[in-house]
Amino acid sequence: GPDIRVAASLGLRPDTRRLLVGHMGCYAALPGLGSVSDYVLARGRAAVLLCAELTSLHLQPPTTDPQQVVTHALFGDAAVAVVVRPGDSVPDDAPVAPAPGAAGPPLEVVDLASHTDAGTGEHMTWRITDLGFRMGLAPEVPDVLAKHVRPVVEDLLARNGVALRDPVGWAVHPGGPRILDTVRDELGLPESALASSRAVLNDYGNCSSATVLLVLDHLRRRGGLVPGAHAVALAFGPGLTLWAALLRVPGG
């Protein structure tokens, strides 16, 4: 599998522990981040989360199906890796409040939440056909997110003593322009809160699970994440499933 090839190309030790998970879709980075964080907390040593997506492999032959045209115009390829360390092992020289464009401060994983609306599973599909995988993306997806995004986010924040107005950073998976508009409107966010999400969508497209990590990287490089500040990451995918992560800049 690709995990074996990656490990070999990086010269990792033969006893490196790996876990390959596939076909979770656009939200996979956040449950992956939660699982990696749990491992780091339990074992007391660093681990790596790698999200690699090659959606262009599934480009179908020329079609008059507008759903397929829109889907493949929207999606792109990307690979992003995140190193997760135990809280007491963050390097002393890690940037805390770097200038815009620098790598940005480290982020603590505070808590995660998820919600699946199983009755809407047909709105986002991934089917095997004689010509390869075929993606399906219904126009009703933003409407489903509109029902659930605010309750999920408010519950996640409230149980950690954070108000909806408090996070200074928002990393919203840019599944498409309408999805970003829906999240903005339902959470009452200013348009500026989605600047990183829209920049990534413009530059790279929807790169499935890797996208929210690209947005987090862009957000960190923009500056403004001061010690003690909170950030929220949101990702959506098949199910329909919504995942949210509460993050925090160490210190403050």
- Catalytic positions, please? 26
How many angstroms separate the CA atoms of 182 and 83, rounded? 31
Residue 70's Cβ-side half-sphere holds a number of Cα atoms within 13 Å equal to 11
Phi, psi of 142 (to 5 degrees): -60, -30
What letter does residue 234 receive in the DSSP assignment? E
Q: What is the DSSP string of 223-248?
A: ----TT-EEEEEEEETTTEEEEEEEE
**Long-range contacts, stretch 175-178, CB < 8 angstroms, 24+ apart:** 175/26, 175/141, 175/206, 175/236, 176/74, 176/142, 176/201, 176/206, 177/201, 178/142
Question: What SS3 class is residue 16?
Answer: coil
